[in-house]
Each structure stands twice: as structure tokens, then as C-alpha cells.
Chain A
Amino acid sequence: MQQTLTLHDRDELITPLYKFDRKFWMVIAFLIAIITPGMLLYVRQLVLGLGVTDLNRPVFWGAYLVNFIFLIGISMAGTVISAVLQLLKVNWRRPITRIAESLTVFGLMTAGLQIIMDMGRPDRLINTLLYGRLQAPLMWDIASLTLYLLTAVFALYLQLIPDIALLRDTAPAAAPEWRKKLYSILSLGWTGAKEQWRRLEKAITVVSVFIIPIGISLHTVTSWLFSTTVQPGWKSTILGPYFVVGAIFSGIGLLFIAVSLAREYNKHLKEYITETFYINLGWIFIVMSAVWFYFTLNETLVVVTEQETLEFPVMASKLFGQFAPAFWGMNILMIAATWILVAPKFVSDKPTRNPLLQTVTGLVATGISVILFFLLWLQLPALSDPNIQTGLIIAFVLLFIVALFGVTKWMKTRLITSTVIASAFVLFGMWLERWNILMPTLTHARLIPYTTYTPTITEIAVTISTFGILTLMFVVFYKFFPSISIWEVEEGRALEQIADRR
């Protein structure tokens, strides 16, 4: 296959790579500004020890571990989108495979960083190699993470080779010498010969086959960190698949947000990443949310019904106790996200006079229900009467439903905005889900009085910093490489042309 790159494509995808304009530097400056405080506080933690966090006995793990699981989770995006869709030969995957795969790599890198930040003695990390016990779940996780990261980097690089060669051949004269050299080395002498294409396609297929079980293993092994212990709330066989589903769910959420941000940053991308992608991946998103609800119901219902002495207090703290805001907040976010994705499919495009479907109704209902949620959360003594409480809860549920109806019409006309909102809800909800798995069990130890945990400023700043680093890697990477797999898009176009001719 010959490279059929038009001048138009080159302008839109390659020229921006050499444009270090004010917008780019503003983004970098903003990211560095949010990364710095966390890094400084981490250095302080290194000097003073983990006492600067709110971790205690028995809450030995906290926000860092929650971030770790969350980051592992979002790294699932690359595997699913790229590998599965690649193997199924789905055509709409082409413009977003690169973003998906790079998210995997960066997600795993920051996840590794997070686990090092959680260690009491990061200086002894080498001990895991010197004295590693293969019987220990943590070693499975380290091994799995390393393997997944290496495979993901390899997969990303394989996809990049033809594009790097393109960059090498089309570099403008004004481009810095080191960049030309970098592209020339990284392209590995790619000339676009038929044999090279044949081998590349073969290699990509093989990697795609391998990366799926590796990805699933990492999420399962991460769940085994918890389910192999004898602590109440974690002794669950469902945790493995639950983590995998959650990972795919949040991975797609992050992919939607990353793709939309990239589209906003470089407006030309809108021609390549069209609404078709949002609709098609949106369907997978909806299916994952259904599976997620199914698993959550399984987790909750069994424990609530059996009311076993050790397990039930953990579950009760989620349903009515100190973790109720996080648990119900998670459920509300997930319900809202699913509604945002599903409901617009049932209303017509035509304007309607149905008062239930007006945006104003939605906004008013949303406002009142948010106020009610906070009233319930604050648990004011004036509202402690059970009848008033029940009334407030019923009013909240009804208004929440009205709000969901009200926004439907608005969502219908704004597919991309609504998908991004749903993705943000899912991401936040999935972070809370991980919190709800870890914290209730840790605060409800068997032989230590029940306790609480609130992240300190160090933990919050380090968390913000971590997500800042993730974004920074993403932004810098796409200053060097095109955010769209150009050759895959070209290939798609060629295939379409052949199909048209028939």
C-alpha cells in the first residue's frame, strides 16, 4: 500500500507538532503549577515519614492505594479499544487507537509511581527483585504490571513506526536537527515496502492477541491483593471480574474525555474523530454500565441478606454509616451517567411542548435535589425527625427523576458534551467505588476499635499532582507524535474507496 497523504492532512496533523505557540506553553505552565505542590509535599513525606498522611492503625492503606487501583483501571482503555476492536476489524476504531494506547502506557506509569509513593521505604524497592517471593500477591501485581507496561509500550511503538517514518520524511526544513535525528532513529529504517507492511500487520495482530489476557490478568491480580486476605468485605470471589468490568468502564470514560480534549485543542481533529465514534463506543459504554450495576447488586445484596457478623458492619457503614455519602454518591453518579447515555436515544429530534422535557424543568429540579442531598448529608438536628427525613429522601428521589427527564432533550442535541459529562461522572464514580471497596474494610478491623480516615493535604496534593503528571505526559507526547494514527486512517480510507468501487 502506498502512502496517500494529502497536503490537507499534513497541514492538520503534522504542522501543529512543530508549533510551540502560547496555548501550548500555557497548558504546560498550568500543569506544572498543579504538579509542584504535591511534589514538594511528597518530598516532605519522604523526610518525615508516612506520618504526614492520615493513615493509622488499622487504616494502613488510603488515598494512594485508591489512586493506584483507579489508575490501573483507566489503563484498560488501550487494551479494549485497540486490541479487541483491532481483532474484530472494526473500522471506526482507526482515529482513536493511538490515544487509547498511550493512555494505557501513561496510566500504568503513574500507577507504578503511586505505589512507590505509598511505600514506607521506597529506597528499598530493589528488595523486590533481590528477595522477591513469587507466592506473595504483591509480587504477582508487580510482575503483571511490568509485563503489561512493556507490552503496552511495545504495542504503542509498533503502531507508531509508519507514522514516525512519515514524520522523518516530511519534517519541515526549519525543524530542529535533534528531532529529525530522533525520528530517523525511531523509524527503524521504515520504507513502506510491502514486506514491511506484511510483517507489521502480523506483529500488531500478535501483540493484540497477547495484550488482552495480560490486561485482564493485571486487573484480576490487583483485586486479589484484597480478596486473598481474610478481612471482612474483601473475601469475595466476585472482586476479580468486578475490577475488570470497572476497569473497562472507567477506561472508556477517560478515553472519551481525552479524545474530546484533544479535539478541542486541535480543532482539525474534528474531521477525523466524528460523532460516529461517540455513538459506537457509547454503546459499549452503556453495556459496561449495565454489567457494572449487575456486579454492584451482587456484591451488596448477598451481604445485606445474610447479615453475617463480620461482613455486615462493613456493608452497613456503606449503606447507612460513615461511607453512605460516598456509596450513594457513587450510585447517583452512575445512574445519572447511564441515563445521559441512554435516554436521548428514546426522544425525538423535534421540539416538544411536554413540560417534563424542558431544560428549565431539569435545571430547577437539579438545583433543588442538590440542595436536598446536602441537607441530608449534613444531618441537621432540625431535620432529625424520621418523618421529615423520609419525606426529604422521597422528595430527593422524585426531583432527581424529574431532573433526569428535564435534561434529556438538551442532551439529545449535544451528543459530545453529554458524553463527556457522563464520562466525568463515571470516572468520579469509579474512584469512589474503589474508595468504597478499600476504606470500609480497613476502618472495620476485627480486633481494633472502628475508626475513620480523612485524607490530609499531603494526600490530596499528591493525588492532584499524579493526575497532573498523567496529563503532562499526554500533552508532551502529542507534541512529538501525531495524536491520530495517520496510516491507519489512510488504510481505512483506501478500504472504503475499494468498497465504493464495487
Chain B
Amino acid sequence: MTNWCMVIDLEKCVACQGCSIACRMENNTPVVSPEEAKNGRAIRWNDVFPLPVHIAPDQGEYPNVKTHYSTRPCMHCKNAPCVKVCPVQATFIDEEGIVRQNYDRCIGCRFCTVACPYGVRYFNWSEPQWEETLAEYRNPDQLSVNGSLEGPAVRPVGVVEKCTYCVHRLVKARELAKVEGREFRADEYVPACVQTCTGKARFFGDLDDPDSTVSQLSKSLRATHLLEDSGAHPKTLYLAEG
């Protein structure tokens, strides 16, 4: 079975936030007003943020500046704290190692958002709104699994949403291979952030295939996880700077 995994090379990342925008357009994450965003209601499945988060380091003065940035999709943990606490199994790990969210079943208790140590789960506080022209460019894709909404179609108010490694793209790629009457190959599918990455810092593939790029990179001495001590066994890999 495939075990999908993303590798982010922080050495190559230029913090352009292209992944953030690509994710927004691909997954129809709702836009909120600046005041709401200031109040912590912004939804960015793929966030670019300064590191360390809490202690402002001595960054020096221009032009002698040193700044660290990181980018944060869902870690798709093997021992996911969010999955453990969901009372109705609205979030679950599928057989290919992706932590998915069933928007039709979520009761909005927000236990998963509290339990996640990475803060990559987002709640729909209000009815999503798009400004006129933006609404025309929404991704028309829609993924339904056993009659339950999962894909990039707009989520209703009051449910939790999260990065899914663009699972609808996986379904699409599989269907295409099927129609063309051939075997599906793991390199036929990448999430939108990987496709768009300016610095080619993101890699995606099957971690269980020893020949894939991601499993080669996972053996690098620079390979690390975010908050390795969280006990969640995060899967998304980072290649550390330096």
C-alpha cells in the first residue's frame, strides 16, 4: 500500500507563500476580513510562519539580517491526536496514510483543533464569503466518499477543515489511469503546493517505495520532523537548514 508523504527542504524554501495561495485556490478555503484575520479566524491550510514562534530572536539590522521561516501543511501523523479524540470519526487516517476529514459528519465540537499540537486544523466560524470576482475562480472539483462531502467543495459553517494532501487530486489521477486503461503510478499525483513551489523545495511521493524521491530524502541526515517530541509521530518531513 502506498504511504503518501511530503518532504519540505527548508534550505530551498524562499518563504514566497506560493504554496499558501495555491492551496487556497485549489481547496477553496474561505477568505475572511482583515479584522477577522487579526482575531485569529484566518484559514490557511498551508501556513508560512516565522520560527521560532514565540521568542523573537535577535535578527540583526538591515542588511545583516537573519530570519527563519517554516511552512506548515498537515503533518498527517501516524498517531494523530486529532483522530484519537474525534467522538464521531469525522476525521480518520485512510489506508494510504492521509488524515482526512468528513465535513458531513463533523459536529463542530472542536476537540481535534484543541488536541492538535501543530495548530493545522481550522474551524469555520462564519458562513464563508467570497468577493465577486474571486467566487468565479473557485475550484469546481468535488469529492464525495460514500455520499459524504470531503473534497474541495465549499464547507458549511460550524465544521472543522484541514489539509488533505489534496486527496481529490489522487482520486482524479486514479480515475484517469483507469479510463486510459493503465496502471496508476505514484508520481502521477502531487498536491497543489508541491506543484507550485517556487524554489522546488517540496517533494511528494510514496514513503514505502525505497526508490521514491521522498524515501531517498527521508534518509538524509537533515531529515527531521516538526515537534518530534509531541508523541504524534508526524509524517511530513522537513530537511533542516544548514
A and B: real partners?
yes
Residues of A within 8 A of B (CB): 48-51, 54-61, 118-122, 124-125, 127-128, 130-133, 135-139, 142, 225, 228-231, 313, 442, 445-451
Is there an interface contact between A57 and B113, defined as CB atoms closer than 8 Å?
A: yes
Contact A136 B115 (CB under 8 A): no
Contact of A451 among B40, B85, B107, B230 (CB under 8 A): B40
Q: Tell me how far the C-beta of A121 lies from the nearest C-beta in chain B, rounded to whole angstroms.
A: 4
- What 5 pairs across the A-B complex have the smallest Cβ distances? A120-B108, A120-B158, A56-B40, A51-B126, A51-B125
Contacts A138-B109, A447-B72 given: A49-B117 contact, CB under 8 Å? Answer: no
Show the binding face of B for A, using Cβ within 8 Å.
Answer: 36, 39-42, 49, 53-54, 72, 81, 84-90, 105-111, 113-115, 117-119, 122-127, 156-160, 226-227, 230-232
Q: Is A447 touching B107 in the complex (CB atoms < 8 A)?
A: no
B84 with A447: CB separation less than 8 A: no
**How far apart are B215's CB and chain A's nearest CB, in angstroms?**
26
Q: Which residue of A lies closest to B107 (CB)?
A: A124
From A48, A59, A121, A142, contact of B159 by CB (8 A): A121
Whether the Cβ atoms of B127 and A49 lie closer than 8 Å is yes
Residues on B with beta carbons closer than 8 Å to the beta carbon of A442? 114
Alpha-carbon separation in the docked complex, A450 to B118 (Å): 14
Flag if B123 contacts A120 (CB, 8 Å). yes
Q: Closest CB of chain A to B80's CB: distance in Å?
A: 11
Which residues of the other chain, B, contact A120 by a CB distance below 8 angstroms? 106-110, 123-124, 157-160
**In whole angstroms, what is the CA distance A135 to B111 when docked?**
13
Known contacts A50-B123, A136-B87, A449-B54: does B40 contact A57 (CB below 8 Å)?
Answer: yes
Contacts of A54 in B (CB 8 A): 39
Which residues from A are CB-within-8-Å of B108? 50, 119-121, 124
Chain B: which residue is nearest A135 at the CB level?
A: B84
Chain B residues with Cβ below 8 Å from A57 are 40-42, 113, 119, 122-123
With A60-B113, A120-B124, A121-B159 given, is the CB distance from A449 to B53 under 8 Å? yes
Query: Is the pair A128, B119 in contact by a Cβ cutoff of 8 Å?
Result: no
Contact residues of A: prevailing secondary structure? loop
**Told that A57-B41, A120-B110 touch, could you supply 17 new A-B pairs with CB distance under 8 A?**
A56-B40, A56-B125, A57-B122, A120-B124, A120-B160, A121-B106, A121-B159, A122-B107, A133-B86, A133-B88, A138-B85, A138-B109, A230-B231, A442-B114, A446-B118, A446-B119, A448-B40
A49/B110 in contact, CB under 8 A: no
Q: A135 to B115: give the CA distance in the assembly, Å.
A: 15
The one of A48, A118, A135 that contacts B127, using a Cβ cutoff of 8 Å: A48
Residue contact A136 to B85, C-beta cutoff 8 Å: yes
Interface contact A229-B226, CB-CB below 8 Å = no
Pick the residue among A51, A61, A447 that contacts B114 (CB under 8 A).
Answer: A61
- The residue of chain B having its C-beta at the shortest distance from the C-beta of A313 within the complex is B54
Query: What distance in Å separates the Cβ of A382 from its nearest Cβ neighbour in chain B?
Result: 29
Pick the most buried of A48, A131, A139: most chain B CB atoms within 10 A of its CB. Answer: A131
Whether the Cβ atoms of B118 and A447 lie closer than 8 Å is yes
A49 contacts across to B, CB distance below 8 A: 124-127, 157-158
Cα A60 to Cα B160 with chains together (Å): 11
In the assembly, what is the distance between CA of A462 and CA of B44, in Å? 30
- In whole angstroms, how far apart are the Cα atoms of A133 and B89 in the complex? 7
- Enumerate chain B residues within 8 angstroms of A118, measured Cβ to Cβ: 109
CB of A235, distance to nearest CB on chain B (Å): 10
Measured CB to CB, the nearest residue on chain A to B226 is A447
Asked, given contacts A131-B89, A313-B54, whether A447 binds B109 with beta carbons under 8 Å apart, the answer is: no
CA distance A120 to B124 in the complex (A): 8
In contact, A446 and B111 (Cβ under 8 angstroms): no
Across the interface, which residues of A come within 8 angstroms of B118, CB to CB? 446-447
How many angstroms between the C-alpha atoms of A124 and B227 in the bound complex? 34
B40 touches A229 (CB 8 A): no
* A127 lies within 8 A of B107 (CB): yes
Interchain nearest-CB distance for A196 vs B (Å): 43
